Amino acid sequence: MIRIPMFRLTNASALALALAVPVALSPMLAKPVHAQFGFGRIVYDPSNFAQNVLTAARTLEQINNQITSLQNEAQMLINQAQNLASLPHSSLQQIQQSVQRTQQLLAQAQNIAFDVQNIDQMFQSQYGNVSLSATDQQLVTDARSRWQNTVGGLQDAMRVQAGVVGNVDSNRTEMSALVGQSQNAAGALQATQAGNQLLALQSQQLSDLIAVMSANGRAEALGEAERATAAEQGRVQRLRFLTPGTGYQPGNAQMFNNGNK
């Protein structure tokens, strides 16, 4: 029989005890400190934690939506302010000045002006029926007056034409400015106002065109009236020349002084 020395058994027991102590203490060390010493226990609920995280995420999303809504409302107010901004450029004064210049030229019409009553009176006195009893001097005077009316009408027409041509340059400058304002308009109101001023400028140009047509028509009408009255006067003078007179009437003729000295 083989005997084992006592000291060897003692060393093995000590080694086993050393290895067993941590295993025995591990369940106790795994517990929280407050549990080991009898303090309150904290219970972790994964489902409750997930619900809290989801609620926080939804709250954050609502806040982001409110911020986005406020930003949209602020942009809408900015757009409304731009749409209500007035156009800084106005062509009204320039258009009115052009219209006034044309009106002044029309008001300076010579002899027979653009007035219905004046036209009726002048035509009745100068372009009416030629009287057979009018003297030759009266016929010449009336014919010269009608010629002056025709020449005056032609001059007035040319003056109106020159005035309208003078408005072309200012209209071109104003049109360029209005188109630029329309293209650079910040909002709907500025674009609308620029469009309205362009329409006003177009109306002024149409007024100039009507003025030129009226002046030219007046000159042509005076010329036609002069020719018609001249033809009538020629007919009357020819009739007066061909109308038989009283003929030759004999009378006493004295050729010498009968010897008186």
What are the structure tokens assigned to 29, written together?
């060390």
Q: What is the DSSP string of 74-141?
A: HHHHHHHHHHTPPPS---HHHHHHHHHHHHHHHHT--SS-S-HHHHHHHHHHHSSPPPTT--HHHHHH
Which segments in the chain show pLDDT lower than 70? 1-42, 245-249, 253, 255-261
Q: What pLDDT is attached to residue 53?
A: 87
Q: What pLDDT is attached to residue 2?
A: 38
What are the structure tokens assigned to 10, written together?
């003692």
Q: What pLDDT is attached to residue 50?
A: 85
Q: What pLDDT is attached to residue 173?
A: 92
CB 121 within 8 A of CB 166: no
Q: What pLDDT is attached to residue 4?
A: 39
Long-range pairs for 87-93: beta carbons < 8 A, 24 or more residues apart? 87/181, 87/185, 87/189, 87/190, 87/193, 87/194, 87/197, 88/181, 89/177, 89/178, 89/181, 89/194, 89/197, 90/197, 91/174, 91/177, 91/178, 91/197, 91/200, 91/201, 92/197, 92/200
Q: What's the maximum distance between 2 C-alpha atoms anywhere in the chain?
A: 229
Q: What pLDDT is attached to residue 75?
A: 86
Q: At what angle do helices 188-242 and 136-183 cross, to 10 degrees?
A: 170
What are the structure tokens assigned to 241, written together?
């020349």
Q: What pLDDT is attached to residue 247?
A: 59
